[in-house]
Amino acid sequence: MAFLTVGKENSADIQLYYEDRGSGKPVILVHGWPLSGGSWERQSAMLLQSGFRVITYDRRGFGRSSAPEAGYEYDTLAGDLAKLIDKLGLQDAALVGFSMGGGEVARYMSKYEGKGIAKAAFISSIAPALRKDGNNPDGVDPAVFEGLKRGIEADRYAFLTGFLKDFYNKKILGGTHISDEAIQASWNVAAASSSGAMLKCVDAWLEDFRGDLANLKVPTLVIHGDADQIVPSKASGERMLQYVKQAQVHIIKDAPHGCTWTHATDVNKKLLEFVR
């Protein structure tokens, strides 16, 4: 087990839990909400077997990392990532973000000029911009996110049960592409996260990353399921080419938000081709 101190709150250090395994070219995997670095299980195994060095970490407030009161906006979250990349001295790495993790990828590549990163990938990502407004008519109505926050505040455990059913499209894919036990495992991880972090991160999803993406010059991969009920592909993945001209966009038919598990074979094939 390894921890990196990224700050301090009162008398306590703010620590990120991370895992650094394997050898070869590094691949950094940034997890989504409300899970942890362990959610990359199927991708980590494939990359390690293929001869890559794989780095995963738990976002502050989630998994085994500290849960401070503040820091759940993207400047701080990207700063945490930057400290990890500096700590490990990474060079020529591939940076991969899932869902909320796509925001860290976009902000890091912009704010830190992509230091140490040779390739970037966005899977089921919230980029380029989720908030629907006059400048972003193809986004999602902000009322949706207010509803999520009310659900978390009322009973986050009951909320997670319904959320994860949609995350994996259980009604359609349960029993064939994912088991009840795997969904329960995700629930267990999510329920163990900080309640404050769960709630505060929802506001962060409304960040506009279009300006960040304008600075993205490295080879870029976008993977999204066309049946994503959490981050609709038409509001996110399918729009990335408008802002990242060099992006390869791969839309997976009938795949849900949690395609890294349900459609791991397809995701892994594209990801391996890209990082190689």
Active site residue 228: yes
What is the greatest pairwise CA distance in the chain? 50
The catalytically annotated residue of 36, 44, 65, 99 is 99
Helix (H) or strand (E) holding 187: helix 180-191
Residue 232, preceding bond cis, omega within 30 degrees? no
Instruction: Please identify which of the residues 228, 233, 250, 263 carries the catalytic annotation.
Output: 228
Of 5, 1, 204, nearest to 86 by C-alpha is 5
Q: Of residues 31, 250, 257, 263, which has the active-site annotation?
A: 257
250 as an active site residue: the answer is no
Extract the runs of DSSP E, i.e. beta strands, from the chain: 2-9, 12-21, 26-30, 53-57, 93-98, 117-123, 220-225, 247-252
Query: Closest Cα partner for 198 from 210, 208, 189?
Result: 189
Q: Would residue 50 show up in a list of annotated catalytic residues for this protein?
A: no
Distance CA 135, CA 133 (A): 5
**Location of structure tokens 């230091």:** 115
Catalytic residue ranges: 99, 228, 257
